[in-house]
Amino acid sequence: MAARGCGGVWRQAWQRGAGGPGPGPGPSPRGQRAVACNAKGGAVPAGKRGLAPWIPVVGLEIHAQISSNSKLFSGSQVQFAAPPNSLVSFFDASLPGTLPVLNRRCVEAAVMTGLALNCSINKKSLFDRKHYFYADLPAGYQITQQRVPIAVNGSLSYSLCIDNKMSQMVTKTVRIKQIQLEQDSGKSLHDDARSQTLVDLNRAGVGLMEVVMEPDMCCGEEAAAAVRELQLILQTLGSSQAVMAEGQLRVDANVSVHHPGEPYGVRTEVKNINSIRFLAKAVDYEIQRQIEELENGGTILNETRAFDSKLGCTVPMRDKEGKQDYRFMPEPNLPPLILYDAKSLPANMNHQQVINIDWIQERLPDLPSVKREKLVEQYGILPEHSFTLLNEDGLAEFFESVVKQTQMKPKKVIGWILNDLLSYLKEHSLTVKESPVSSFLLADLLNLLEKKEISSTAAKQVLAELWKGEGKTPLEIVKEQKLGLLQDQKELEQICQAVIDGQENEVIMMVPG
Amino acid sequence: AVLKGRLRSQVSAALKEGQVTPTELCQRCLALIKSTKFLNAYITVAEETALKQAEESEERYKRGQPLGILDGIPIAVKDNFNTAGIETTCASNMLKGYISPYNATVVQKLLDQGAVLLGKTNLDEFAMGSGSTDGVFGPVRNPWSYSKQYKEKSVPKSHSEDEESNWVITGGSSGGSAAAVSSFTCFAALGSDTGGSTRNPAAHCGVVGLKPTYGLISRHGLIPLVNSMDVPGILTRCVDDAAVLLGSLAGHDPKDSTTVQDDFKPFELPNLTDVSQLAIGIPKEYNAPGLSSEILALWSKAADLFKNAGAKVVEVSLPHTCYSIVCYHVLCTAEVASNMARFDGLEYGHRSDKKDSTESMYAATRREGFNDVVRGRILSGNYFLLKQNYEKYFVKAQKVRRLIANDFVEVFRSGVDILLTPTTLSDAAPYTEFIQEDNRTRSAQDDVLTQAANMAGLPAISVPTALSERGLPVGLQFIGRSFQEKQLLTVAKWFEKQVQFPMIQLEEVKRHDDGVFQHQKSASFS
């Protein structure tokens, strides 16, 4: 079962294991010994040199910015790309004498996320200060949850396809160690030319959920699939917008490799990953690099590396000042965070002052996995299609809306959605919401097709016309361009006669022949 | 006479009846501040805004709509509370010239009730000290140094040396506030109390110093020393006035998550006539090494006073008291290290010219901005917080803190209502003598009787009791149950009435006061 769960990248970089059912070991492009991870998270030796195989181990630390109107401990607004330092309260600028006041919404978002990730929610969690000096950390410490985080011991199931074939999907689970609430830092902009640093504190103090995933993954694709599923869950919950490009979801990967039966190797932390695609690349590169390094007799340093997306490789980050001792200390200005459930909820308690875990649990929306199941069940579409539908924001809703407005069978509709609509959108880098063709128009078109008023070829032509977004209905386009299928026998005869009449010479030539 | 009066009974009535106007009152206080400038009690005098506030108050009185007892009352605030538009320095180079954009909750509450903010009072840098001698603006002089009582009893080596070498410290770190109240330049003042910083100078300056229960008064806007122990303190001339201030300041503040949720009902103190139902505890551990025999005698006399009036007086034990001061220092320095981290020269405050790198700028800024005491505490605090030391020092100190708090719980559970202890080991030391020891040693000695109440979060009050043989004030401390301020202050008021502490006789100041007052009066008529 070699290479299970690992896609093209793996096959290019590493050979298949000898024990695998796939094609036999082939030359690896970079000529080193190969490793592949399988569905069970193991590794198989390349067999070429008969050396022990390598097992890559990948864990993730994910910072998800909480979607909230105001920051974690202050009333300043949270907004992306606002003018620098326009969203900074006295507390955010750490003016002396200011105190943190916990934002209820952020706590609720973390509880929701914890529940969605099957965590146990701690009824009592604590805040701590983590100290380090940095220009965009005005207080000199970050308020986080080091000792007792809000949620622990969860799991996340995610699916990925084998050998890049959508038809072969496996489901895996990664354990969630904990979710902790903490403050975001500001942003430093280094102006090397004038050798100065500009600090923007708009982001300082925005609420983050740090989700720590146990090292249960073994390749970039698994990491990417896990993060994608988390992203979908966060977006479904609304606890984070989780847009990586806007920094609302930041992923650090801990990567190490070791031989079977041996303890985990020294790990590196890869930062600066700003898309899911780059996450897969960065992790795979780092695994590869470590194996190469070790095979060549080198050692792996416990270091932080940055992914350079242009070069497609990881490079050591300039170490700030050696090993930091964060001098953790309880945050004295925040009492323990106490949460309740239906059982422990005190009577006569002001509802504004308490958070009831059960209440939140009851109101959790359908998670992506449930939504997919429902789509498959309700519309008879393939499971892999349900993944695609959920992967694009709003696509499942679009699909359902079209299905509702047309007589065409969902199984047929899905083809139009995935092949035509989606590829057009991708080609033009549009979101579903930006689609020039609404679900209503598409349904209209599919209805014409379903009623056999136009041919499938003509339908594509109409669709091509609809993309222009000129406000015409499919029927108008059909009429204008005369794309309708002729249902009237006489009319058809007339047309044929006209053609024959117009081509007398040819007809004459043909008749005797 | 009004200047030396008490709030509820005298000053408020005089204002109401128009015997004196808020503006007159404010002017007199300002004049007195000028004539007592040598005390160095104030860092900033906010003359202009004070007069404006007084004028507004006057309008309210004219309309017959004063905001309450505090309307038109001149007060002073320790310079570690944020005051919008008025410099807040913490007596440190780090914040020299710093003007906060907001008012501390307690300051806002006072202003909202019509109080007139005269200015900001002197302290040890960032409230780290017990003498009010370690601020960047120089030491505060105890007004009693210039009292008839002290001058009569102290034996100067030579007449010329008298004033320059014989003056005594105020205690601290709220020494400026204590001196301000004691010298009649204001009617009440805010201090802060982390390990005794309100009660200690109150005792040395002969005024009442109240440290309320932790969480009863908002700390929002108080520049922190130790967040888990800091409490805004109240300095007044009498216990009744302390109750007035407490009533105006206490209660939940949404900006401070450590304040109590419940609303606070202001109270007037009853005149206790019968103390026979009262159980006074005398903790034997407070007979600490270094306690002067004079204070010991006074303490036992006070106990007798209660006993003779029919109260039950029992010796009790707080067995972990002797560990308290070391644990206090560990926890205090750890939080100091953390709280001071924000002073990096970037957002506000002093910034060094050294700009080779961000790190070197930080280092130079902090070296230039903080004095040795602050830097020393930051250093030791960071040491205690290091990963390898955290369990050994910080966690252990926290555990002992719990034991200390439990000691009090046990004693109160045994039926004791109030504890009676000395506030200080001795009367105020002459400045020249005080600075022989370093700040750390001094703080360890001076906080020994007071910091346990902070460790346990309990309310405590120092009440001026008598004059020492040298003619200097001595205070005794009452410690009460959590949030039982009313009981604590009621007992303190009874005690205050019994001891009849003498009023300070400021010969020099009096002379200045009359002169300036007449000058002002004529000026206003011309």
**In a domain? residue A361:** no
Same domain, A191 and A317: yes
**In a domain? residue A399:** yes
Nearest CA in chain B to A330: B335
Are A99 and B385 within 8 A, CB to CB? Answer: no
Number of structural domains (chain B) is: 1
Specify whether the CB–CB gap between A93 and A138 falls below 8 A.
Answer: yes
Residue finishing a domain among A314, A330, A346: A330
Task: Name residue, tokens 């030579």.
Answer: B158
- Closest approach of chain B CAs to the CA of A281, in angstroms? 34
**In a domain? residue A35:** no
Q: Is A447 on the interface with B (CB under 8 A)?
A: no
Q: Residue A58 carries which DSSP code?
A: E
Q: Please tell me the distance from the alpha carbon of residue B427 to that of residue B472, in angstroms, as a whole number.
A: 6
In angstroms, the Cα distances linking A319 to A186, A269, A290 are 19, 12, 19
Helix (H), strand (E), coil (C) string for A121-134: ECCEECCEEEECCE
Is residue B200 packed enough to be buried (19+ CB in 10 Å), middle (13-18) or exposed (0-12)? buried
For residues A42-70, average pLDDT: 79
Residues 160-219 of A with CB under 8 A from B: 197, 199
Positions of E strands within A38-135: 43-45, 55-65, 120-121, 124-125, 128-131
**pLDDT attached to residue A509:** 76
Q: What's chain A's average pLDDT?
A: 86
- Residue A281 tokens read as 């690349």
Q: What are phi and psi of B150, to 5 degrees?
A: -70, -45
Residue finishing a domain among A305, A330, A355: A330
**In a domain? residue B390:** no
- Residue A329 tokens read as 């200390």
**pLDDT attached to residue A320:** 54
Q: Is B390 on the interface with A (CB under 8 A)?
A: yes
Specify whether the CB–CB gap between B220 and B253 falls below 8 A.
Answer: yes
Determine the longest span between alpha carbons in chain A, in angstroms.
106
**pLDDT attached to residue B156:** 58
Q: How many CB pairs under 8 A join A and B?
A: 102
From B95, B228, B343, residue closest to A332, measured CB to CB? B228
Q: Is B389 on the interface with A (CB under 8 A)?
A: no
Choose the weakest-confidence range: A229-243, A335-349, B216-230: A335-349
Specify whether the CB–CB gap between B449 and B424 falls below 8 A.
Answer: yes
Same domain, A68 and A212: yes
In angstroms, the Cα distances linking B35 to A450, B31, B39 are 100, 6, 9
- CA neighbor of A185 nearest in space, from A129, A148, A141, A246: A141
Same domain, A425 and A292: no
Are B257 and A327 within 8 A, CB to CB? Answer: no
Strand-pair partners of A155: A175
- List helix spans (H) across B423-475: 431-434, 439-446, 451-456
Positions of E strands within A5-134: 35-37, 43-45, 55-65, 120-121, 124-125, 128-131
Same domain, A248 and A393: no
Residue A429 domain boundaries: 368-489
Q: Please tell me the distance from the alpha carbon of residue B204 to that of residue B431, in angstroms, as a whole number.
A: 13
Are B385 and A329 within 8 A, CB to CB? Answer: yes
Report for A37-46, A111-120, A431-440, B344-353: range of highest mean pLDDT: A111-120
Q: Mutate one of B98, B126, B226, B342 to test the A interface: name it (highest A CB count within 10 A).
A: B342
**In a domain? residue B246:** yes
**In a domain? residue A80:** yes
Kindly provide the ipTM of the predicted complex, given to two decimals. 0.94
Q: What's chain B's average pLDDT?
A: 93
**In a domain? residue A302:** yes
The angle at the Cα of B129, spanning A131 to B106, to the nearest 5 degrees, equals 75
Burial string for B163-181 (b: 16+ CB within 10 Å, else e) reads: eeebbbbbbbbbbbbbbbb
Q: Please tell me the distance from the alpha carbon of residue A169 to that of residue A219, in angstroms, as a whole number.
A: 16
**In a domain? residue B469:** yes
In angstroms, the Cα distances linking A280 to A60, A276, A368, A389, B50 are 12, 7, 22, 22, 66
- Closest approach of chain B CAs to the CA of A140, in angstroms? 5
Residues 353-412 of A with CB under 8 A from B: 353
For residues A188-204, average pLDDT: 90
CATH assignment at residue B425? 3.90.1300.10
What is the β-pairing status of strands B116-121 and B74-78? parallel
Find the helix packing angle between B439-446 and B321-339, rounded to 10°.
Answer: 130
Specify whether the CB–CB gap between B208 and B243 falls below 8 A.
Answer: no
**pLDDT attached to residue A319:** 62
Are B255 and A328 within 8 A, CB to CB? Answer: no
Are A131 and B335 within 8 A, CB to CB? Answer: no
pLDDT over 70 for what percent of chain A? 87
**pLDDT attached to residue A178:** 98
- CA neighbor of B378 nearest in space, from B28, B125, B33, B187: B125
Same domain, A242 and A384: no
Residue B222 domain boundaries: 2-152+168-324+398-499
- Residue B35 tokens read as 């004539």
- Residue A109 tokens read as 């978002």
From A100, A327, A334, residue closest to B385, measured CB to CB? A327
Same domain, A240 and A315: yes
Q: Mutate one of B88, B344, B359, B398 to test the A interface: name it (highest A CB count within 10 A).
A: B344
**pLDDT attached to residue B514:** 43
Same domain, A285 and A149: yes
Q: Is A80 on the interface with B (CB under 8 A)?
A: no
**pLDDT attached to residue B96:** 97
- Which helix (H) or strand (E) element contains residue B521? helix B507-525
Q: Please tell me the distance from the alpha carbon of residue A257 to that of residue A303, in angstroms, as a whole number.
A: 14
From A139, A333, A353, residue closest to B342, measured CB to CB? A139
- Residue B514 tokens read as 């009359």
Same domain, A71 and A209: yes
Tens digit of pLDDT at every position of chain B (526 positions): 678 888 877 898 899 889 999 999 999 999 999 999 999 999 999 999 999 999 999 999 999 999 999 999 999 999 999 999 999 999 999 999 999 999 999 999 999 999 999 999 999 999 999 999 999 999 999 999 999 999 988 765 555 555 567 899 999 999 999 999 999 999 999 999 999 999 999 999 999 999 999 999 999 999 999 999 999 999 999 999 999 999 999 999 999 999 998 889 999 999 988 999 999 999 999 999 999 999 999 999 999 999 999 999 999 999 999 999 999 999 999 999 999 999 999 999 999 998 888 899 999 999 999 999 999 999 999 999 999 999 999 999 999 999 999 999 999 999 999 999 999 999 999 999 999 988 888 878 888 999 999 999 999 999 999 999 999 999 999 999 999 999 999 999 999 999 999 999 987 544 444 433 333 333 333 2
For residues A194-221, average pLDDT: 95
Same domain, A320 and A430: no
From A90, A327, A328, residue closest to B102, measured CB to CB? A90
Same domain, A269 and A130: yes
Residue A12: pLDDT over 90: no
From A96, A139, A335, residue closest to B258, measured CB to CB? A335
Q: Which residues of B are catalytic?
A: 78, 173, 197
Q: For B226-269, write each residue's pLDDT tens digit.
A: 999 999 999 999 999 999 999 999 999 999 999 998 889 999 99
- Closest approach of chain B CAs to the CA of A101, in angstroms? 6
**In a domain? residue A108:** yes
DSSP labels for B196-210?
Answer: STTHHHHHHHTSEEE
**In a domain? residue A6:** no
Number of structural domains (chain A) is: 2
**In a domain? residue A401:** yes
